[in-house]
Structure 1
Amino acid sequence: MDLSLHYTSFSTPADPKRIAPTLGRTARLAEEAGFAEFTVMDHFFQLEIHGTHDEPMLEAYTTLGFVAALTERMRLAVLVTGVMYRYPGLLAKTITTLDVLSGGRAQLGLGASWYEREQRALGVPVVPMAERFERLEETLEICFQMWSADNGPYRGKHYQLDETLCVPAPLTTPRPPVLIGGGGERKTLLLVARHGDACNLFAVSPEDVAHKLDVLRAHCDAEGRDYDTIRKTVLYTRPVLDNPDGFLAEAEQYAALGITQFDLIPTGDPIAFTEQVAERILPKVGSLG
């Protein structure tokens, strides 16, 4: 079982001058401790579930570029990129850039995007849900084409590219892995079965995740996809340090379902959180699964 650090807040410490050194120190500690992955959100306003909309928030891929320069091993990803926030060809180039500069550690995390407050505030088009999923699938197709030997045009319903040239190519072969986030049973998990190397579900309960995985397996059967080739991860939103033994007992249940990675959200001081997880949880979680 792997752990990933999902960095969602830039509010601690309060001084904006301390954001960069705190982020950097946290990332280095996470890598030294053995975290497998480091992720950030793709938001421009803070989510109300984490604070207030006007709390500090940094652009995701610039942030990962900063983290890439300070680390050497951890996988780096946005959990997850909002499909409406970037043109697909430019997104493919952004992921490629991160992959090249990090030494082959980039992962494309992609989701349908939903936070309309920031979209309307910053002028991002707000389109119906069905269209967002159409755009998500076209975005994946464009990224896959840009990461192939085919430099020709792409003609979709929503996107038309005259050339899909991407030089240099990603260092990761055959391409950076793709994680699709969300547990929507009719569309999201179908896209995982068609295109995803990994999925990310909310760790609501082992029973809920078991049901989502059953749905994913059924989609894989229908699509002719080997279910076992998909890496299964969950986002754990509860404070793990309040009850480490309880978390480990729950993690064992998830591991039995085939979950291979937990994404943990720092609470309070991210440096202190990472140090405590490294001391109290990481030495025990590696034996799960």
Structure 2
Amino acid sequence: MADYGHELLFGTFITPAATQPQHAVALAQTSEQAGLDLATLQDHPYQPKFLDTWTLLSYIAARTERLRLATNVVNLPLRPPAVLAQSAASLDLLSGGRFELGLGAGGFWDAIEAMGGRRLTPGESVEATEEAIRVIRAMWAADERGGVRVDGKHYRVLGAKRGPAPAHPIPIWLGAYKPRMLRLLGRVADGWLPSLGYLPGREALTELNAIIDESAGESGRDPYAVRRLLNVGPQDVTPDSLAELALEYGISAFILATDDPRLIQEFGAEIAPAVREIVADERAGTTHAVEPEQAPAPGELGVVPTPAPGTRHTANLPWDESTRPSRAAEPGEHGYTEQGRAVSRHLVNVHNGLRTELQQVRDLVDQVRKGAVEVAAARSQINEMTMRQNNWTVGAYCESYCRIVTQHHTLEDEGIFRHLRSGDDTLGPVLDRLEQEHLAIHDVLEGVDRALVKLVAHPGDYTGLEEAVDLLTDTLLSHFAYEERELLEPLARLGMFAGQL
């Protein structure tokens, strides 16, 4: 047992995408509405596709009331610690004590140098992080006399005035994996914030926890004072899996990496309460009866494609469904791995998120018709949705899956199809057809936009808009069903890109 006894926390890890600036804000609000404890944001100042983390955090703080906010994690080489301390304290004061500070020593050194940061060796990174923590805590100690003085090798603060003091004692969580940084964490930090996708397996948590505990003990600290947090992906968040991480590996905060509002709602409404119940029963010494999940037998896929609805809104799809090719049946059993099944499940999850967006489009049109939403506002919201942004080259699937597995890596939109073609040459006709349908979907989406523009010129005539949205509904649901029917098995069998996950 390695349960450190901390109160359980549940949160989200949200992408600060600049292409949809309001989307991250909406996801944070969804996190709060779902009853989650915190929302976190990565910090990569050199990434032009991302919003600035501090600006976005401040904006989210103003748009939420209860939700705690955290960096996951701050890029320390590009955030001078004395200024970082003031930024963190200011946000904590403005939000009523809702900010937590996750620190990272840096890692993308070419990009850091390109922005004027200094490249550090692993050993120098540990030294710089320790000096930075000294500076930050000294700046927060506003009641102490005299200025802040840290004459370090990497950071020199020579008499800076202290303050402001944060609204509450802000914990410092470190993103760390190597022994030297873990030993530093045990000496001076308040929490450990790794990502499960970066670890060789959950079993590694035992060894890494031991390094933290030993270092804390040698420094005269109680190892139980160090909270253990963990970034997890949707494939990791069953109640039993998270309860095991809490009770056997000491994790007390679970941060879900997803930009899917449906998964966020499920995480808050269903997963988090179930985990809390299991852990509370175990800590109280009571037995919690859990229905065992029936694992797929060897050779069984265990992932079911979602069929298209039996009823249609229109008879004029942009393609003839009867001409769709099918993949060749694979003989024999393949003994799919759980990782392979997770790849297939993720395609269904991405489609479910897009199905949710589709319903949002229909709801928006209904609100426009009722006069509750202006046409321009509806058009803006639709154009910011994932379905409008990914240009139907399976970019949403590729980007979100790779974020879950490797957090910050991206792959070319075409990578999945290219990988499937190389792994199974019989898939060519199916993939060709899917690519053709992606182009058709793009045209259907343009039709919705044209209908919205036409409505401005002819207010009160909703016929064209309703027809365009009905066509979009039938087109998307038909395409999703076909893509899942044909690709779930190859994705489970062939997995993702060899050597990249």
TM-score computed with the length of structure 2 as normaliser: 0.50
Separation in 2, partners of 1:168, 1:45: 28
Higher RCO structure (Cα 8 Å, ≥6 apart): 1
Cross-structure match for 1:51:
none
Shift of 1:133: 1.5
Q: Is the 8 A contact 2:16 2:42 kept in 1?
A: no
Q: Is the 8 A contact 1:108 1:176 kept in 2?
A: yes
> Is the partner of 1:287 in helix, strand or coil?
helix
**Identity over aligned residues, as a percent?**
28
CA deviation profile, 1:194-252 (whole Å, cap 9, x unmatched): 1111111232433111121112111122212101111111111x333xx75xx322212
Q: Is the 8 A contact 2:239 2:272 kept in 1?
A: no
Shift of 1:166: 3.4
Separation in 2, partners of 1:45, 1:273: 29
Separation in 2, partners of 1:151, 1:158: 22
**Which residue of the other structure, out of 1, 12, 23, is the alignment partner of 1:5?**
12
CA deviation profile, 1:103-123 (whole Å, cap 9, x unmatched): 111112112100124213323
CA deviation profile, 1:152-210 (whole Å, cap 9, x unmatched): 233222222222323432111xx31111111212x111111111111112324331111
Q: Is the 8 A contact 1:154 1:164 kept in 2?
A: no
Q: Is the 8 A contact 1:232 1:259 kept in 2?
A: yes
Larger radius of gyration: 2
Structure ranking higher in strand proportion = 1
Matches within 5 A, 1:92-107: 92-107=85-100
Matches within 5 A, 1:49-64: 56-64=49-57
Q: Aligned-pair RMSD on alpha carbons?
A: 2.0
Matches within 5 A, 1:83-122: 83-122=76-115
**Which residue of the other structure, out of 71, 77, 81, is the alignment partner of 2:70?**
77
1:216 lines up with 2:212 in the alignment: yes
CA deviation profile, 1:20-54 (whole Å, cap 9, x unmatched): 2x2222111211212111110111355xxxxxxx6
Q: Is the 8 A contact 1:88 1:142 kept in 2?
A: yes
Q: Is the 8 A contact 2:140 2:163 kept in 1?
A: no
Shift of 1:281: 2.0
Separation in 2, partners of 1:222, 1:216: 10
1:288–1:234 distance in 2 versus 1, CA, 3 Å: farther
Cross-structure match for 1:201:
194
> Is the partner of 1:276 in helix, strand or coil?
helix
Matches within 5 A, 1:151-170: 151-152=146-147, 153-170=149-166
Shift of 1:127: 2.2
1:27 lines up with 2:20 in the alignment: no
Q: Is the 8 A contact 2:46 2:111 kept in 1?
A: yes
Q: Is the 8 A contact 2:11 2:256 kept in 1?
A: yes
Cross-structure match for 1:180:
174
**Which residue of the other structure, out of 234, 240, 243, is the alignment partner of 1:239?**
234
Q: Which runs of 5+ in 2 are unaligned?
A: 1-7, 280-501
Cross-structure match for 1:41:
42
Q: Which runs of 5+ in 1 are unaligned?
A: 47-53
**Which residue of the other structure, out of 250, 253, 256, is the alignment partner of 1:261?**
253
Separation in 2, partners of 1:127, 1:109: 20
Separation in 2, partners of 1:211, 1:43: 29
Separation in 2, partners of 1:7, 1:151: 40
Shift of 1:93: 0.7
Cross-structure match for 2:276:
286
Separation in 1, partners of 2:278, 2:50: 34
Separation in 2, partners of 1:209, 1:26: 29
Separation in 1, partners of 2:33, 2:276: 15
> Is the partner of 2:212 in helix, strand or coil?
helix
Shift of 1:282: 2.8
Shift of 1:130: 1.6
Separation in 2, partners of 1:288, 1:37: 21
Letter in 1 for 2:212: L
Cross-structure match for 1:230:
226
Separation in 2, partners of 1:73, 1:260: 20
Letter in 1 for 2:72: L
Q: Is the 8 A contact 2:13 2:40 kept in 1?
A: yes
Q: Is the 8 A contact 2:76 2:104 kept in 1?
A: yes
CA deviation profile, 1:54-94 (whole Å, cap 9, x unmatched): 6x211111111011101122221111112201111111111
Cross-structure match for 1:144:
137
Residues matched between the structures, number: 265
Cross-structure match for 2:438:
none
Structure ranking higher in helix proportion = 2
Letter in 2 for 1:224: G
Q: Is the 8 A contact 2:25 2:60 kept in 1?
A: yes
Separation in 2, partners of 1:65, 1:215: 35
Letter in 1 for 2:21: I
Q: Is the 8 A contact 1:150 1:164 kept in 2?
A: no
1:83–1:24 distance in 2 versus 1, CA, 3 Å: closer
1:273 lines up with 2:250 in the alignment: no
